[in-house]
Structure 1
Amino acid sequence: MAVEQTTKADVIVIGGGMVGLASAIALRDRGLDVLLCDPGEARARTSYGNAGVVSRGSIFPMSSPALWAKLPTYLRNADRGLRLRHTHVARVLPWTAHFLAAARTSAWERAAAALVPLTSAALPEHLGLAERAGAGHLIRRCGWIKLYRTPEAFTGAALERAILARHGVAVDLLDAEAVREAEPALIRAYAHGMLLPETGAVSDPGALMEAYQQLYADLGGRSLGMVTTGLQPTEDGWQVRHAEGAVQARQVVLAAGAASGEIARGLGYRFAFAAERGYHTHYALHPDSPALTRPVLDTGAGSIVAPMGEGRVRVLSGVELNARAAPPDYVQIEAAAREAAGTLRLGANLDNRPWMGARPSTPDGLPVIGPAPRHRGLIFAFGHGHIGLSTGPITGRLVADLATGREPAIPVAPFAPQRLLGWPRRRPPQPDGAMARP
């Protein structure tokens, strides 16, 4: 009979995506003995599969005031940017109720104000970490563009532009000719564009993650790839069990992305939480096409095209609300690829099948960062949605601050776990200006 082995550390970090990895690096920088635990396949992590945008302007939750006008379209799955699995949405009623409550102008503005310090620190933190990892060449300060097919669509984004201006986020407005000049690779005509120049673009998110993993190893960080979700408190800290034994530590950081809700539930925390699934596929650009120089969001298609190395682009779908482990549904990415073929001169598809990953989604669009309310030594760091790759390094610094008793580098009160625990006890507020029904 094999003897069970117990490993000890100062801190266990559960989750090997950008947030967990950056937290592990920051904790090692503070001199702590860190064990990073993640059983998942690297390619399946959303840090690998996103658009690589690191932007100060990524401050808007999905639950926008425009939701109410678009709700009938969303419910019919007639909007390219959002696809619902209705049975799944019914199963995550706490998330759904909070999500509808957050779809108000006042809530949207509060969320944006809370995210500004986090996104403002994102690019400087990434650049510093990338230089340490010898991967500075993978991040370019090139901005990214949001494109609008009609004047009406551009007018409809006026509130977004006003909030960006209020928080000092630089925006360059482009007319149709300026869009063509900024991105000669575009073959579709757009009425307007919005360039956010305070943005970095990662040309290969997977390679950047590998460089950060090597940096962590070079710092003496340890990793374990066979962890189960068995997390439990002990008399002097925490224990995580795995196939060959257990790991014990004084503190634990839960940064397991979309799996974090399930792990937290085992400790009695029922977060209003859902998984946002997304897809991507890669195409070669046509040999006669100019290069695409920066990521581009086509608001009319609800999808993104992003350059990923020499002559290659990543086409990314909108959001699918579905169970994390449900079989893939390629309807959205196939539609996004068709739209991309009208936006760029594409060559061959480079993938055997589209990639799929699940983002951890909170209803108010804010991450969960902070100490657990009922357990000493447990720090939550998940729920970053679409900005996990972007804000991972600054979140790692905040985690290290909390673990070592320092004042966090930026305010974390808006990200407190308590706000998402339990069911809403009142009817969600009506959209601004709407009359409440009896």
Structure 2
Amino acid sequence: MSNAMTADIVVIGGGMVGLASAIALRDRGLDVVLCDPGEARARTSYGNAGVVSRGSILSMASPGLWGKLPAYLRNADPGLRLRHRHLPRVLPWAAHFLAASRESAWRRTAAALAPLTAAAYGEHRRLAERAGTTHLLRHPGWLKLYRTEAALAGSALERDILAENGVPFEIVAGAAVRDLEPALIRPFHGAMLLPETGTIADPGGLVEACEGLFSGLGGRTLRGTVTRLAPAAEGWSVETAGARVAARQVVLAAGAASAEIARPLGYRFAFAAERGYHRHYALRPGSPALNRPVYDTGAGSILSPMGEGRVRVLSGVELDARDAPPDLRQIEAAAREAAGTVRLGAPLDNRPWLGSRPSTPDGLPVIGVAPRHRGLILAFGHGHIGLSTGPITGRLVADLATGREPAVPVAPFAPDRLLGWPRP
């Protein structure tokens, strides 16, 4: 290798989870090398809705999925688009996902995530104070919008689980929805306000600032895609196309690419890449600002304010290969619906953004020491809440690497749970 390095620990992945882990490990006095290709737009954290909510405890594997399954398979529901040619590749994940779509499993997932999401905003605030990005953080809550009485009634189990886990919410009825969010022009039957929710006005800017913080702490960054991860005499060897790093420990936090990197080590995780799109639009002149993110449940999409007069429209989930060509039909449909929800103006991007979220069947991230390899810490599979829970995950990774009691219980996130699916 033309470039050989040594370190105490290597972190693979430069999204929010990887960066927060690298920063926390530097804080513990470890010599850290961060490996990442350096493509800012390719990181899932870049394309997030910027929602940091205590209420993000409900996985996609919900009991209501069974009633929607025929529409999902026909691509008739805006919340999910399935590339049918890709279905054989995700069948193992899909089978386990369906097994997790029971009320008992939904409640179990929510109880496991509640301590993690409860700590999320406080960790973001502490990190932002160090990275100089507190101006990007707000705490306005966020709204889930329901177009019909039946849709609001259908959220009863969700509300029951939120209350069971101490997550506050308020039901807003009829015209009061517009009073709370004047930017809305579509009539909604009602909404659920989750007040304990923070927002990040520029997720990509936050990640870039954290890169600067890591560098300022003396952390080193190796630009490149990891081509090989293997045990070595003194710990681990991590290789890119032109460099190799020898380290005692490794953190695998490469998002949707993590399963591929772990596969040569013998790990076959039930895992899928949930692709998602976004595009930025201006609000029309004279339109009130959108004060907080809103999730239009009827459209299966989110509208999130991203600075003065700019709205990020985010699509639902697309199941396809990570490297498959973009299919813009879902984001185009989301934009059409968004134009009936707020006074949407011209697009501000030349093309929509596309990224892949790392998804586990039970909706729980993988956070823990690899079951068959000493010195390998796994931290991926956060799905839609990687940006939100990245800072607290970084703290947990540092706890595991230095032998401390984790700040949040990590037993429900144990890696070996996904090696013997489905769970009873």
TM class, shorter-chain normalised?
over 0.9
Shift of 1:176: 1.2
Structure 1, unpaired ranges of 5+: 430-438
Q: Residue 61 of structure 1 corresponds to which residue in structure 2?
A: 59
Shift of 1:39: 1.2
In 2: Cα distance, 1:121 partner to 1:200 partner: 12
Deviations 1:299-344 (A, max 9, x none): 0000000100010000000000111111001111000000000001
Q: Residue 8 of structure 1 corresponds to which residue in structure 2?
A: 6
Contact map agreement 1:146 1:193 (CA 8 A) in 2: yes
Shift of 1:244: 2.6
Contact map agreement 2:227 2:241 (CA 8 A) in 1: no
Q: Residue 221 of structure 2 corresponds to which residue in structure 1?
A: 223
Shift of 1:380: 0.2
Contact map agreement 1:227 1:240 (CA 8 A) in 2: no
1:282-297 alignment to 2 at 5 Å?
Answer: 282-297=280-295
Shift of 1:346: 1.2
Amino acid at match of 1:34: V
Q: Residue 89 of structure 1 corresponds to which residue in structure 2?
A: 87
Shift of 1:227: 3.7
Q: What is the RMSD computed on CA atoms of the aligned residues?
A: 1.1
Amino acid at match of 1:260: S
- Secondary structure at the aligned position of 2:408 is classed as coil
1:320-335 alignment to 2 at 5 Å?
Answer: 320-335=318-333
- Secondary structure at the aligned position of 1:128 is classed as helix
- Secondary structure at the aligned position of 2:119 is classed as helix
Q: Residue 433 of structure 1 corresponds to which residue in structure 2?
A: none
- The yes-or-no answer on 1:365 pairing with 2:363 is yes
- Secondary structure at the aligned position of 1:390 is classed as helix
In 1: Cα distance, 2:285 partner to 2:115 partner: 42
Q: Residue 72 of structure 1 corresponds to which residue in structure 2?
A: 70
Deviations 1:126-155 (A, max 9, x none): 011001111101010110000000010000
Amino acid at match of 2:74: R
Deviations 1:171-209 (A, max 9, x none): 011001210011000000000000100000101111111
Shift of 1:423: 5.6
- Secondary structure at the aligned position of 1:92 is classed as helix
Q: Residue 156 of structure 2 corresponds to which residue in structure 1?
A: 158
Q: Residue 340 of structure 1 corresponds to which residue in structure 2?
A: 338
In 1: Cα distance, 2:151 partner to 2:250 partner: 46
Deviations 1:51-83 (A, max 9, x none): 000000000110100011111111100000011
Q: Residue 408 of structure 2 corresponds to which residue in structure 1?
A: 410
In 2: Cα distance, 1:89 partner to 1:264 partner: 22
Q: Residue 435 of structure 1 corresponds to which residue in structure 2?
A: none
Stretch of structure 1 that moved more, 167-176 or 81-90: 81-90
Deviating beyond 4 angstroms after TM superposition, the runs of 4 or more aligned structure 1 residues are: none
Amino acid at match of 1:106: S
The normalised TM-score by structure 2 is: 0.98
1:30-429 alignment to 2 at 5 Å?
Answer: 30-422=28-420, 424=422
- Secondary structure at the aligned position of 2:185 is classed as coil
In 1: Cα distance, 2:2 partner to 2:97 partner: 45
Amino acid at match of 2:134: G
Contact map agreement 2:358 2:381 (CA 8 A) in 1: yes
Percent of paired sites with the same residue: 74
- Secondary structure at the aligned position of 2:249 is classed as strand
The normalised TM-score by structure 1 is: 0.95
Q: Residue 24 of structure 2 corresponds to which residue in structure 1?
A: 26
In 2: Cα distance, 1:422 partner to 1:91 partner: 18
Shift of 1:86: 2.2
In 2: Cα distance, 1:40 partner to 1:154 partner: 43
Deviations 1:223-282 (A, max 9, x none): 010242311100110011123331010000000000000001011100000000000001
Counting matched residue pairs gives: 424
Contact map agreement 1:142 1:294 (CA 8 A) in 2: yes
